[in-house]
Amino acid sequence: MTVHEAIPDIDTLLGDVSRYFETPHDLVVCDQLNRAEKVLLLRHWEHDVHLMMVASEENMTTGEPPKTAEQMSAIKAALAALGDGTEEDAGKTASAG
């Protein structure tokens, strides 16, 4: 997806986030989505990658395995950049206040 290309509606994006965004960073910098939509899409993407990792561990994949560990790290970094409200972010807020 290019910077100026219109994105589909949120339901379509949820069907396959990685089809529309090459990297989690691309999703984070997309100016056509609000923060809540970005977090929702990243969480969905995270779930999909987790399922791929489980399938790989159970030898249920075909062909070359995807780089799921790198994808998961990139997704977690993107969520952290958005301040998604995870335990880690909550700890930062609690210690700051």
pLDDT at residue 1, rounded to an integer? 53
Q: Give the contacts of 96 (CB within 8 A, at least 6 positions apart).
A: none
* Residue with more model confidence, 47 or 2: 47
75-88: b (≥16 Cβ within 10 Å) or e: bbebbeebebeeee
Global confidence as pTM:
0.76
Residue in 68, 76, 7, 3 with CA at minimum distance from that of residue 37: 7
Amino acid identity, position 94 = A
State the Cα torsion 16-44-77-81 to the nearest 10°: 100
